[in-house]
């Protein structure tokens, strides 16, 4: 094969070239090494079946495979319990890593365990595997068959995605968060506006690792194959990762689309039912929904269940109470987040305000347990999906927002901004 004349590359092209056999560009097929394969509980049974029955294989590098029991954990039914039992047995037999009930949501856990690193390729049996792009890992979701092939061979093949360049300028105003930025980005791109593309986010030294996870996490909601945040500032040093020089995109790389978001112009945003790109200013929805009672508020998930998210919620809820007739569920994204929130008093603040605390994991995010919605109920959630039936009944309505907005909504019992609550002064 003749090598093409080298051209400037995007970050996706860089990583897929480096981990592959030769230099590749958007549209090329790449065969690449996979640094970590992640399997979630809901997919574990089909993964094991593909491995054992279809491929007759065991994982080529067991240390590169992790199974996480997080989506319906602890188990809700006998069949779920059986599937989880099989996953545990499989891990014990093959030596792959197992993160059992209570350790937390797959993406949060892999990041905490250092199983996603700059320049790595991380494949997950979960669509929000784009989250690993927070640390400049090419993270992507695939189905059970592709995941099994990657575990069996240590490799995968894929078409190199086109890239969309998103540049952030300016600085966020108080009360505006990475979730609001992510929702604005999805609104601008549209729910399928980046289908099979890599969203390459240029943020300079803005955003913490957790905030970068929120941004990369939402990218799949625009249909993206990957969501890569170009390393800058704090993530260079704070997590002990070396950022290889080769991972940075080249000046002059080719993008199919470029957008710029001036952070200084953003207000708190909310995605209204039933599409994630149906995004409005919270201030507007607060007026439109003045008479709408919110039945459930859910703070958690791989999008916004981290310590800074619980802190943001506690800052609003401290000394206050959840409104009568509103349920507030708080589920830390991992046991590590839970421990931190326990140690610094955040959980006590939330509990005293009337929150119901749950086991680290996905909780009611996809409507399988721990807070399923009844017909007609309204939920404000910090998660990433609000399509019909996502959290239970098809006639329930889900609004997506930041933890601060979710907490304020819990206090008021209707859509609210944190300033509405803080303006009331400390209650006790
Ligand atoms: C269960 C899993 C495969 C699913 C996904 O792929 O995203 C879930 O995490 C979700 O958020 O809908
Ligand atoms: S928290 Fe929700 S979005 Fe994230 S992996 Fe779990 S079910 Fe999927």
pLDDT in tens, the chain (428 residues): 556 689 999 999 999 999 999 999 999 999 999 999 999 999 999 999 999 999 999 999 999 999 999 999 999 999 999 999 999 999 999 999 999 999 999 999 999 999 999 999 999 999 999 999 999 999 999 999 999 999 999 999 999 999 999 999 999 999 999 999 999 999 999 999 999 999 999 999 999 999 999 999 999 999 999 999 999 866 555 566 788 889 999 999 999 999 999 999 999 999 999 999 999 999 999 999 999 999 999 999 999 999 999 999 999 999 999 999 999 999 999 999 999 999 999 999 999 999 999 999 999 999 999 999 999 999 999 999 999 999 999 999 999 999 999 999 999 999 999 999 998 876 65
Task: Note the CATH architecture for domain 11-159.
Answer: 2-Layer Sandwich (3.30)
Helical ranges in 103-237 per DSSP H? 106-112, 144-153, 178-189, 209-218, 234-237
Nearest atom (ligand 2) to Cα of 106: 5
Cβ neighbours around 55 below 10 Å, total: 15
366 CA distance to ligand 2 centroid (A)?
7
| Closest C-alpha to 177, from 308, 3, 326, 315 | 308
Phi-psi region of 167 (alpha: psi -120 to 50; beta: other; left: phi over 0): beta
Which of 127, 142, 147 has the most ligand 1 atoms within 8 A of CB, as the residue to mutate?
A: 127
Q: Of the CATH numbers 1.20.120.450, 3.90.650.10, 3.30.499.10, 3.40.225.10, which one belongs to the domain with range 272-422?
A: 3.30.499.10
125 CA distance to ligand 1 centroid (A)?
8
Instruction: List the domain boundaries for the chain.
Output: 11-159, 162-243+252-265, 272-422
- Write down the pTM of the prediction: 0.97
Residue pair 132/217 in contact by the 8 Å Cβ criterion? no
Query: What six digits make up the tokens of 14?
Result: 């860089």
Of all protein residues, the one whose alpha carbon is nearest to atom 3 of ligand 1 is 126
To which CATH superfamily is domain 162-243+252-265 assigned? Answer: Aconitase, Domain 2 (3.40.1060.10)
Helical ranges in 128-280 per DSSP H? 144-153, 178-189, 209-218, 234-237
- Fold agreement between 11-159 and 272-422: yes
Residue pair 64/25 in contact by the 8 Å Cβ criterion? no
What ipTM does the predicted assembly reach? Answer: 0.99
6 CA distance to ligand 2 centroid (A)?
39
Q: Write out residues with Cβ below 6 Å of ligand 1.
A: 40, 42-43, 71, 126-128, 141, 366
């Amino acid at each position: 094969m003749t090598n093409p004349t080298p051209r400037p590359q995007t970050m996706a092209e860089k990583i897929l070239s480096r981990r592959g056999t030769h230099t590749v560009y958007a549209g090329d097929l790449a065969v690449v090494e996979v640094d970590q394969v992640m399997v979630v509980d809901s997919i574990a049974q089909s993964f094991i079946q593909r491995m054992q029955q279809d491929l007759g294989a065991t994982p080529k590098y067991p240390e590169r495979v992790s199974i996480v029991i997080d989506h319906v954990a602890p188990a809700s039914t006998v069949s779920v319990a059986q599937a989880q039992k099989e996953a545990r047995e499989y891990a014990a037999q093959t030596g792959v890593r197992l993160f059992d009930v209570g350790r937390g949501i797959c993406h949060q856990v892999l990041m905490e365990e250092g199983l996603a690193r700059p320049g790595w390729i991380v494949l997950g049996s979960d669509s929000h595997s784009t989250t690993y792009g927070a640390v400049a890992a090419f993270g992507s979701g695939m189905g059970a068959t592709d995941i099994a092939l990657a575990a069996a061979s240590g490799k995968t093949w894929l078409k190199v995605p086109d890239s969309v360049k998103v540049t952030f300028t300016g600085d966020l105003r108080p009360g505006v968060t990475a979730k609001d930025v992510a929702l604005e980005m999805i609104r601008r791109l549209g729910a399928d506006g980046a289908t099979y593309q890599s969203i390459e986010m240029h943020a300079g030294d803005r955003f913490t690792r957790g905030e970068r996870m929120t941004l990369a996490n939402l990218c799949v909601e625009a249909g993206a194959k990957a969501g890569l945040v170009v390393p800058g500032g704090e993530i260079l040093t704070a997590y002990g990762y070396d950022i290889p020089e080769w991972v940075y995109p080249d000046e002059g790389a080719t993008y199919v689309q470029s957008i710029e978001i001036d952070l200084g112009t953003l207000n708190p945003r909310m995605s209204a039912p039933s599409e994630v790109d149906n995004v409005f200013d919270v201030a507007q929805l607060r007026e439109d929904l003045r008479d709408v009672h919110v039945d459930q508020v859910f703070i958690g998930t791989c999008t916004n269940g981290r310590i800074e998210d619980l802190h943001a919620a506690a800052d609003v809820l401290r000394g206050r109470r959840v409104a009568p007739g509103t349920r507030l569920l708080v589920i830390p994204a991992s046991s590590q987040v839970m421990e931190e929130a326990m140690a610094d008093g955040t959980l006590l603040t939330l509990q005293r305000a009337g929150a119901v605390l749950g086991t680290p994991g996905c909780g009611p995010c996809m409507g399988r347990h721990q807070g399923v919605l009844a017909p007609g109920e309204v939920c404000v959630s910090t998660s990433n999906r609000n399509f019909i039936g996502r959290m239970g009944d098809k006639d329930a309505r889900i609004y997506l927002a930041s933890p601060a907005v979710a907490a304020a909504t819990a206090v008021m019992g209707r859509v609210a901004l944190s300033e509405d609550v803080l303006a009331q002064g400390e209650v006790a």
